[in-house]
Amino acid sequence: MYRIYDCLATQHDIVLVLVAIAIGLGGIHTAFNLYARACMGRLQQRFAWLFLTGVVTGGGIWATHFIAMLAYDPVLPVGYEPVLTATSLVIAIGATMFGFSIASVAGPHLLLSRLVGGLVVGLGISAMHFTGMMAMSVPGVISWHMDIVIAAILMGAVFGMISLWLAGPARTPKQKLLGKVNLTIAVATMHFSAMGALIVTPDPTVPVPAQLISQQYLAIGVAIVAALLIAIGFVTALVDRQMRAHINNRMHILGDSAIEALVLTQNGRIIDVNESFLRLTGTKQHDVIDQDFLARWLPETPLAFQQGNLNYVETSLRLENQKELPVEVIRREIPADDIADDTTIFGLRDLRERYAAEKHIRFLAEHDSLTKLLNRTTFNDRLSEALQESDETGVPTTVMCVDFDHFKELNDSFGHIAGDHALRELGERLGKLISDELTIARVGGDEFVVLLHHQNRTNPNSIKTHTQEVAQKILDCIALPIFINQENRAKLSASIGVAHYPQDGADAESILFHADLAMYRVKQSGGNDVVFYSSEMDEEYRFKRQLASNLRVALENEQLELYYQPQCHADDKEIQSFEALLRWKDAELGQVPPGRFIPIAEETGLIIPLGEWVLRTACFEAAGWDKPLGIGVNLSAVQLQKHELPEVVAAILEESGLDPKRLELEVTETALIHNPARSMKILSDIKKLGVRIAMDDFGTGYSSLATLQNFPVDRIKIDQSFVTKLVGNAQAGAIVRAVINLSRDLALDVIAEGVETDEQANFLTDHDCRAVQGYMFGHPRPISDYAHIVHPQTPAPETAPEPAKSGKKPANRHSGIETV
């Protein structure tokens, strides 16, 4: 070590040593810039850049060596043999070019290729050095300390290997700096260590060839070669860098303008990203460069995508703290060109908004938009799954149909906005009851369905108890008052029908149908209750369906008929008018009471054509009477809600030619309160035609006094329920007297229904009720039995059917069509 130091300190010109090091640094600096460029692009371009790298690196090292040789003073005159000097330059260029070429090879043995390439460069430096030393000629004998020679060669080889290992592809400033520093150390340590091993023994007898290159000429030549090579390499690298920077800048602008995140990789490692990727991941560019992109950011991608056999995938982007972000990734391979090596570009798009939109769309498709509960389609799917599970486990499944009582009245009273508000609030309440065993859905209007899983319950009593408990929770939930406005709160109730699978049905359709039947049974009983399905309900439904079908056929085939009941003057029993009453005798079922088929007609909508047929038939019949008696026709609640009713009445009067004053339309208080405003408008329009309006069943409905005040009524009919109790019931008598007095004070006509005895007739006559109707004065009969009344010239029948000794008028309170 001392010998090396002594040689450097005493036998070298320090200025020239520093110049040599500076030239070496310049050449090596330019060389690594060229090497970085040689590591990318197409194969033919790589060869060109590697050749230039070898020329600049070898020439720079050769120049460094010979300038350092010029700095060495052996005390003897020195000359240089031209062929060996040129050979040393060729060795330097060839070795460095070959070494850098090996190091630039990418593949599975990347580290090995860099180490081998560095070894070749290190050994090439040694070969160039000793070849150059062989070119030196002095009048003396040259010998070596072989231990120092070996150490010098080893140091050059080791630092050469370290240089290309740390430099890698020389893409980052850090990689380039490490490569330059270690290669400079390799050149310097190898050269000056080897010079320390040199021993020159003067010997005048040693001949010196005449064709030697003097130190002056060598200095000029070395300076020219070094300057040209370094300048060529520097200018070439500078031009290429500027061109690449321009292209990269344009690509960066283009990439940063993209909404999608873009990542460029080579050999799986990131070489560039755009701003969208940095924003998406919350990172800085220097943090992600040279990372293994798929392993670090997309570890869950399938193998086919990683190998390039699949170009699209939806996966998760791994962020910091193990957070994951849903993304879609597109992979595109970019072949090598004159500028860059084979590159893979990944385009990433954040899927959070799309997933949220898809989730919202699925929610809208599966849920009711008003209540946020499940809709009919989704419920049916859940029901099918539940029935399949029930088949597998043997545990029954329960379905409930829930319908709010009098919900239409809430809409009519406060408007549909209030109704929607009520449904929203009820939906929110019911939604809080939903659990793993309870599913609730809205299937339309104010109709809801419930699916109840009994889990491990198999005992029938336990299942029934569980069902009743759940149903009661639903009833209690619905019964809470609902805020409508500052002045009003609505309190609803519900009717719940229950059916069990498989006990009450073999499939989803039958279970729902039977639960619906049970719910309608609750409705018919007044609501606010729970009813379990039974087979009798199905029989009743089938009977109603048959009845509705037969009634439709009877209407189409004119198999219906009207009976007429007299309405008489109380004093002389003279008939003043008739009330038309519908009768139906079915070929299969026999005589069907109106109280049986009228409600079914209202449920099925047949009441509209049926009521029009009754009105038309009665008007045409009355128009043909010789005696202009009045004719009374009942209107149902459904008819009274049809805006076109006044036009229908007017058309029938015109077609039949009946004087409007002879027609009296009877309506019930119950029919009027469904929609008071609409009823008022319709009755007012009918009244303008000259038709009389009678209030039927007065006293049995709602707010009778308000009804008389607000509606255009001409006559009041005292309900038979009061007339029947006249004898022996002081309260009934008081009510009848009050109604008669009220009618007189309001200048309204009054008629009592259901008069059957002399005591009843006498009471009414004594209290100034001048019109009566009942079995005492005549039964409902075909008009032919009253032909002598309506056609006075027709003789009276010799015999007439005996009037019933007693009988009550079974009026149908659900319909305006009389059911006597």
Across 212-216, 296-300, 697-701, least confident range:
212-216
One domain, residues 617 and 712: yes
Looking at residue 809, its pLDDT comes to 40
One domain, residues 21 and 112: yes
Question: pLDDT band for position 205 (50/70/90)?
Answer: low
Looking at residue 374, its pLDDT comes to 92
Distance between CA atoms of residues 272 and 291, nearest Å: 10
Tokens 């008629």 label which residue?
Answer: 751
Tokens 């001392």 label which residue?
Answer: 2
Distance between CA atoms of residues 316 and 324, nearest Å: 6
Highest mean pLDDT among 83-92, 161-170, 732-741: 732-741
Within a domain: 380: yes
Q: List all residues 6 or more positions away from 78 whose beta carbon is below 8 Å from its beta carbon.
A: 136, 137, 138, 215
Average pLDDT over residues 316-334: 86
Please choose, from the candidates 769, 790, 763, the residue with its C-alpha nearest in 3D space to the C-alpha of residue 569.
769
Looking at residue 658, its pLDDT comes to 95
Cβ-based neighbour number of residue 347 at 10 Å: 19
Pairing of strands 749-752, 771-772: parallel
Distance between CA atoms of residues 792 and 780, nearest Å: 19
Looking at residue 149, its pLDDT comes to 82
Within a domain: 814: no
Across 244-253, 289-298, 609-618, 670-679, least confident range:
244-253
Q: Provide the Cα torsion 73, 77, 83, 85; round to 10°.
A: 10
One domain, residues 605 and 688: yes
For the cut 50, the answer to whether the pLDDT of residue 814 exceeds it is no
One domain, residues 511 and 405: yes
What value does the mean pLDDT of the chain take? 82
Within a domain: 94: yes
Looking at residue 808, its pLDDT comes to 38
The pair of three-digit structure tokens given for residue 626, joined into one six-digit string? 């010789």
Question: pLDDT band for position 5 (50/70/90)?
Answer: low
Question: pLDDT band for position 4 (50/70/90)?
Answer: low
For the cut 70, the answer to whether the pLDDT of residue 393 exceeds it is yes
One domain, residues 210 and 304: no
State how far Cα 490 lies from the chain centre: 34
Within a domain: 364: no
For the cut 50, the answer to whether the pLDDT of residue 601 exceeds it is yes
Contact 490, 482 (CB under 8 A): yes
Question: pLDDT band for position 807 (50/70/90)?
Answer: very low
Within a domain: 458: yes
Please choose, from the candidates 619, 702, 706, the residue with its C-alpha nearest in 3D space to the C-alpha of residue 660.
619
One domain, residues 558 and 484: no
Looking at residue 698, its pLDDT comes to 76
Distance between CA atoms of residues 550 and 61, nearest Å: 115
One domain, residues 228 and 189: yes
3-state secondary structure 664-698: EEEEEHHHHHCCHHHHHHHHHHHHCCCCEEEEEEE
Residue 182, judged by CB atoms within 10 A of its CB (0-12, 13-18, 19+), counts as buried
Looking at residue 240, its pLDDT comes to 62
Q: Is 408 helix (H, G, I), strand (E, B) or coil?
A: helix
Average pLDDT over residues 197-204: 70
Looking at residue 687, its pLDDT comes to 92
One domain, residues 47 and 187: yes
User: What pTM value is reported for the model?
Assistant: 0.55
Q: Which of 484, 507, 533 is the last residue of a domain?
A: 533
Residues of the chain above pLDDT 90, percent: 26
Q: Which of 204, 239, 274 is the last residue of a domain?
A: 239
Contact 212, 81 (CB under 8 A): yes
For the cut 70, the answer to whether the pLDDT of residue 812 exceeds it is no
Higher pLDDT, 458 or 398: 398
Looking at residue 418, its pLDDT comes to 84
For the cut 50, the answer to whether the pLDDT of residue 644 exceeds it is yes
Across 33-47, 433-447, 646-660, 665-679, least confident range:
33-47
3-state secondary structure 49-70: HHHHHHHHHHHHHHHHHHHHHH
One domain, residues 722 and 574: yes
Looking at residue 252, its pLDDT comes to 59
Contact 779, 804 (CB under 8 A): yes
Average pLDDT over residues 190-218: 65
Within a domain: 245: no
Question: pLDDT band for position 439 (50/70/90)?
Answer: very high
Contact 184, 24 (CB under 8 A): yes
For the cut 90, the answer to whether the pLDDT of residue 146 exceeds it is no
Q: What is the pLDDT of residues 669-725, one digit of tens each?
A: 777 766 777 888 899 999 999 999 998 877 665 545 666 777 788 999 998 889 999
Q: What is the pLDDT of residues 512-542, one digit of tens each?
A: 999 998 998 898 888 899 999 888 887 877 8
Host domain of residue 175: 2-239
Higher pLDDT, 584 or 188: 584
Q: Is 79 helix (H, G, I), strand (E, B) or coil?
A: strand
Contact 12, 20 (CB under 8 A): no
Average pLDDT over residues 86-110: 81
Distance between CA atoms of residues 484 and 479, nearest Å: 14
For the cut 90, the answer to whether the pLDDT of residue 402 exceeds it is yes
Looking at residue 3, its pLDDT comes to 60
Tell me the CA distances in angstroms from 711 to 625, 639, 667, one per residue in order. Answer: 31, 17, 11
Q: What is the pLDDT of residues 219-257, one digit of tens each?
A: 566 666 666 666 666 666 665 665 565 556 555 555 566
CATH number of residue 292's parent domain? 3.30.450.20
Q: Provide the Cα torsion 162, 167, 168, 172; round to 10°.
A: 160
One domain, residues 53 and 8: yes
Question: pLDDT band for position 99 (50/70/90)?
Answer: confident
Higher pLDDT, 85 or 426: 426
Average pLDDT over residues 288-312: 88
Within a domain: 782: yes
Average pLDDT over residues 283-292: 87
Looking at residue 804, its pLDDT comes to 41
CATH number of residue 734's parent domain? 3.20.20.450
One domain, residues 197 and 293: no
CATH number of residue 396's parent domain? 3.30.70.270
- The DSSP letter of residue 797 is P
Within a domain: 250: no
Looking at residue 188, its pLDDT comes to 80
For the cut 60, the answer to whether the pLDDT of residue 428 exceeds it is yes
Q: Which of 213, 239, 265 is the last residue of a domain?
A: 239
One domain, residues 464 and 418: yes
Contact 440, 423 (CB under 8 A): no
The number of folded domains in the chain is: 4
For the cut 70, the answer to whether the pLDDT of residue 780 exceeds it is yes
